[in-house]
Amino acid sequence: MEKTPKMQATNVHVYYGDNHAINKVSLDVFAEDVTALIGPSGCGKSTFLRCLNRMNDSIASARVEGKITLDQQDIYDPKIDVVQLRARVGMVFQKPNPFPKSIYDNIAYGPRIHGLARNGEEMDEMVITSLQKAGLWEEVKDRLEAPGTALSGGQQQRLCIARAIAVNPEVILMDEPCSALDPIATAKIEELIEDLRGRFAIVIVTHNMQQAARVSQKTAFFHLGEVIEYGDTADIFTNPEKEKTKDYITGRYG
């Protein structure tokens, strides 16, 4: 039986001014999977990821063509409210970027702007469960009023994931979430991704082949703005169809 994709990109092109950064990319994201985007630097992984929650809107020179849907609904439809879209499609960035607020307020930020909690108790509840889901609760439960910036890099990144989880999104986009972290913090985030799988559709950009192999079920290999190969992670890593993919994942790319 064919599953219906959570998000579906069809013939997407992205231009930065005259620079054609994404060329006719079609890609399905499934709700129960972690989808990894791999490829050499500058091939357009981040650009594509940012299309999925329209973060490219804030780049004046960026222009997106083609169709991207979330639950069959076109997200570039003028009737779509970007604010709503981003509440459903959350994002975690390469460098941890906690707000200059307390740990509590960092998590509560999203629920507050979307009016998700009716009172203080509900908010407390939401903050606690988000921190628990992000595996950070034990480490910070005694210092919720400490500034988010006072945490370690790995903790900050989990805080950012907790912050994204708090608005209860359906999809979480992660752009190289571990590239600024040490191996132990990375392992924690990978565990967390494994935990979150199934509850959220996850799309992750990574430069780390092992990481892609470990955490994802689907992998897309990007090259020069095109998707060269897309399929089950197991197939891509053990038995790639395209020569280019094979070269890249075996490190012979260059």
Partner 1 sequence: MSVSASIFILILLAGAGFFFGRQRSLALVSGKLATLHSLPNQYGWYVGILMLLPGILVILLWIVFSGNIIDTMVIASLPDHAGPATEQARALLLNDIHNTAAGAPHSGSSEIYIQEAAQRYSRLKSQGVNIVSALVALFAVIGGLAGFRTIRPDLRARTHVERVILILLILSSVVAIFATLGIVLSLIVESARFFARVPLAEFFFGLQWSPQTALREDQVGSSGSFGAIPLFAGTLLISFIAMCVAVPLGLMSAIYMTQYSRKNVRKVVKPLLEILAGIPTVVYGFFAALTVAPFIRESGGLLGLDVASESALAAGLVMGIMIIPLMSSLSDDALTAVPEAMRDGSLALGATRSETIKQVLIPAALPGIVGAFLLSVSRAVGETMIVVMAAGLAANLTANPLEAVTTITAQIVALLTGDQEFDSAKTLSAFALGLALFGATLLLNMLALSIVRKYRESYE
Ligand X SMILES: Nc1ncnc2c1ncn2[C@@H]1O[C@H](COP(=O)(O)OP(=O)(O)OP(=O)(O)O)[C@@H](O)[C@H]1O
Closest CB to partner 1 among residues 36, 89: 89
Q: Are strands 218-223 and 226-232 parallel, antiparallel or unpaired?
A: antiparallel
Contacts of partner 1 in 138-167 (CB under 8 A): 149, 160, 163-164, 167
186 binds partner 1 (CB under 8 A): no
Closest CB to ligand X among residues 55, 165: 55
In sequence order, the 6+-apart residues with CB closer than 8 A to the CB of 151 are: 98, 103, 140, 159
Among 5, 12, 27, 46, binds Mg ion (CB under 5 A): 46
CA angle 157–32–110, rounded 5-degree value? 40
Is the Cα torsion angle 179, 16, 30, 38 positive or negative in sign?
negative
> Distance (Å, rounded) from C-alpha 79 to C-alpha 7?
18
Closest CB to ligand X among residues 46, 130: 46
47 binds Mg ion (CB under 5 A): no
| Sheet with 73-74, edge to edge strand ranges | 19-29, 7-16, 62-70, 73-74
Select the binding partner of residue 164 from partner 1, ligand X, Mg ion, none (C-beta < 5 to 8 A, by kind). Answer: partner 1
Closest CB to partner 1 among residues 64, 167: 167
Among 20, 67, 114, 207, binds partner 1 (CB under 8 A): 114
Least Cβ distance, residue 193 to Mg ion (angstroms): 18
201: number of Cβ within 10 Å: 24
